[in-house]
Structure 1
């Protein structure tokens, strides 16, 4: 396409178009420029001419690393220091727990049988002694058990008398045998044993002994006649046979009597032993129903009322925690009559969770601290009694039971406590007192005494902590004097100086 040369008329038309556009938008641009200038002026006035970098410096003043206090503040602050030193620090952990009864000293006294609760001799809160009478029950069951005791006592008395008689007979038979060996007469023997027990053996032995002596006397009388020929030899032999037969009968009777007497004695001894066993079993039945050992020498079994009386006695010294029945109420076997507890020593129960299972290695008897919030955060000592063997599925923890003494009677079952247990083994490390460590903006630091009233802030990193010491892993050297009492006051002074 061929170029068309610009003419004066076309150039004039273009200039007129730009002037027309500028005339339309010019006022709007002027207004916007005025507004921007006004905003900059107001902002300059409000900031006072301070730049953003200057403002940042003003908002973050630098806190000094040390401060020097005048003598007056040194005296008023009463600052104390302890040198950083090597100590055996053991990591501890505090867990919640509860005071509980000692299970071995908390007994639910129950009715051993059916009956009528005729008397309750104690009230809740009352102190009782071991063996003290606390309630009385009337029950036919205990009456029957005691009646069995009476029966067995009579049987034993009879067995004892039989044995004593058998022993006397055996002894008398031995003495009679000695008199017979001395060839004393029947009259002398009968006279000696007229009032002494020989049982059924008296007639058999004495009769055969009398016949033997008679046969011996007849033989002795006929012997001289046989020598002179007045009596035939046949008569002599007959007398000799009679005498020998009489002696045989006597010896048989005596041996049989001795054997039977010995057997009767043994049988009587066995009967007495059996009577003793049956009597002991009867007493055991009574004592099982009573729940305590009854004094056999003083117990009254003379009437039916005494037989049916069941005395409930305290198994140990303690206090009555609760009472369930009133006088003359009917009770059944197994009903809870009273709850008796001894709170001189109690248990502390807490749960060792998974993160603290290293504490399970603690041996029995290890001392732990127990803090009781209800007693103004007083701290008591307890000793580890045992750890549970089973992990509780709902809490993934193991129960810890510790024994705590309650000599002052301040602790009560159910109290909430905080239990401090050691975790792992103690180790030697550079340590300071826990009250020396203060914090600001998540940074732990201490104050080191540089003498002449000057204290320097030193940032530290801490490790394991116990009630007495805190491990310092970074920031201090052994021997540096670290402020304990007054550290918080120094922190306040340091922050005030930073603001100034």
Structure 2
């Protein structure tokens, strides 16, 4: 029994010894323990330099060119944070018009189609309407009345000037023959004959009175006859003065009435034109409808013209169709400039901080076009009851024609600016085993440096720790360095 126990103990000892010998050979024979060894002074040397060299990446010139490595020094700067808002393109109100029918009628012809380019004042349709004909007829009648009133005024003005000149000559005592010669072809009307007759009588009475006075001095005539002649002279002079005053007054009154008639005719024409202008509405400035010609054989026809240069975005009717007042005929727009409208909802009201003239970025994933800037035009004040949002409208250049009204987009709107931060391009940051890192220039190679990220945009990232100003950071080709580092690790 004791011999069996002894044999078992001896076998176990042999197994343990053999296992220990293989373990010792494997450890020291493979050199795995060479990371720590004694130097000539007996000091222990850590393997940190070996580890650092293992993380450092060195590339040949060929690989450097192939990887497209580009570096930049680390700088401080401002980082503007943004929020992406859903947006849609709209027509610019100042470059868009809905051309509507001014009144009921029939489209005699339609001269353009959807997609056509039109110039300002280019005819786009012809409308026939009895209402327009009646309004134009009132204008023609008012124009005729005004022309007659102006002619009557000129007649009365000529008479007034002639009578005033005649009265002046009479009061100066000119002879009838001299007066007729001076007046020449001046217009006097009935007043010329009345004044000259009264003046002739007065001159005759004065002549007789003078002659009879001389005869009385010689005793040839009685005193009674002299008194009679003097009385006649005074009477004719009074009658002449009365005729002059009455003529001047009547010519002044007639001139004033003629002037009032001109003003009334002008007002009637203005009212008639305004009536037609109101009837035509927005088309008044784009047609010759207010300039009615008396030689026009068809005053009920209206040529509708484009009020602006642009493209026909919509054509709603065809020729011979009957249209009603305010029916939309065309939509004409200049789409080289558009609006883009984003909705700012209640949760974003306090964070969005933009004013008129600020710049926002517009992205259109559905269109093969690069991001483009737009300028804030206005920020709405009224909340849409359906969406609970206020509109943010920006103006965007569309000269290239990439965008169309109704297209959806994304608007990057500024929310906050981080001032004086260390920032690097987003392309410089790579993920190494779950740790955000960047590659920095290290001699003739590149070494990864772990960093703590802060806020970031689509293009730049805030670095809160890990880098210092002036370090050269790889901003292009970092992924190639990461791949090279992983390959070296596998080897």
Please provide the CA RMSD for this pair: 2.5
Cα distance in 2 between the residues matched to 1:123 and 1:394? 36
C-alpha contact (below 8 Å) 2:378/2:394 kept by paired residues: yes
What is the TM-score of this pair, normalised by structure 2?
0.82
| Match among 412, 424, 436 for residue 416 of structure 2 | 424
State the partner residue of 2:221.
231
Q: In the alignment, is residue 263 of structure 1 matched against residue 253 of structure 2?
A: yes
- SS of corresponding position for 2:204: helix
- SS of corresponding position for 2:151: helix
| Match among 452, 470, 473 for residue 464 of structure 2 | 473
State the partner residue of 2:39.
none
Cα distance in 2 between the residues matched to 1:451 and 1:393? 63
- SS of corresponding position for 1:310: strand
C-alpha contact (below 8 Å) 1:225/1:231 kept by paired residues: yes
| Match among 139, 146, 162 for residue 136 of structure 2 | 146
Shift of 1:438: 1.6
Cα distance in 2 between the residues matched to 1:412 and 1:232? 114
C-alpha contact (below 8 Å) 2:92/2:339 kept by paired residues: yes
| Match among 289, 311, 314 for residue 303 of structure 2 | 311
Shift of 1:146: 1.0
State the partner residue of 1:463.
454
- Between 1:338-347 and 1:235-244, the stretch displaced more is 235-244
Q: In the alignment, is residue 89 of structure 1 matched against residue 82 of structure 2?
A: no
| Match among 54, 57, 61 for residue 68 of structure 1 | 57
- Between 1:435-444 and 1:263-272, the stretch displaced more is 435-444
Cα distance in 1 between the residues matched to 2:289 and 2:342? 47
| Match among 94, 97, 107 for residue 97 of structure 2 | 107
Q: In the alignment, is residue 332 of structure 1 matched against residue 324 of structure 2?
A: yes
Distance change in 2, residues 1:364/1:303 (3 Å)? closer
Distance change in 2, residues 1:392/1:499 (3 Å)? farther
C-alpha contact (below 8 Å) 1:358/1:424 kept by paired residues: no
C-alpha contact (below 8 Å) 2:136/2:292 kept by paired residues: no
State the partner residue of 2:314.
322
- SS of corresponding position for 1:352: strand
C-alpha contact (below 8 Å) 1:80/1:486 kept by paired residues: yes
| Match among 338, 344, 347 for residue 346 of structure 1 | 338
C-alpha contact (below 8 Å) 1:143/1:304 kept by paired residues: no
1:51-450 equivalence runs, <5 A: 66-71=55-60, 73-186=63-176, 189=179, 196-290=186-280, 291-293=283-285, 299-305=292-298, 307-358=299-350, 360-392=352-384, 395-440=387-432, 442-450=434-442
- Encode CA deviations 1:398-429: one digit per residue, 9 max, x unaligned: 32110001112222112222222221235111
State the partner residue of 2:44.
none
- Encode CA deviations 1:106-135: one digit per residue, 9 max, x unaligned: 222111011110011101100001111111
| Match among 479, 483, 491 for residue 474 of structure 2 | 483
- Encode CA deviations 1:302-330: one digit per residue, 9 max, x unaligned: 2542x111111101111111211111111
What is the TM-score of this pair, normalised by structure 1?
0.81
Cα distance in 2 between the residues matched to 1:395 and 1:160? 63
- SS of corresponding position for 1:123: coil
- Encode CA deviations 1:129-159: one digit per residue, 9 max, x unaligned: 1111111111111111111111111111111
Cα distance in 1 between the residues matched to 2:148 and 2:289? 19
Shift of 1:472: 0.6
- SS of corresponding position for 1:328: coil
Distance change in 2, residues 1:379/1:330 (3 Å)? same
Shift of 1:361: 3.2
C-alpha contact (below 8 Å) 2:276/2:290 kept by paired residues: no
Cα distance in 2 between the residues matched to 1:277 and 1:424? 61
Distance change in 2, residues 1:355/1:470 (3 Å)? farther
C-alpha contact (below 8 Å) 1:460/1:475 kept by paired residues: yes
Unaligned ranges ≥5, structure 2: 1-50
Unaligned ranges ≥5, structure 1: 1-62
State the partner residue of 1:15.
none
Cα distance in 2 between the residues matched to 1:442 and 1:353? 36
1:21-32 equivalence runs, <5 A: none
- Between 1:90-99 and 1:309-318, the stretch displaced more is 90-99
C-alpha contact (below 8 Å) 1:90/1:464 kept by paired residues: no
Shift of 1:442: 4.6
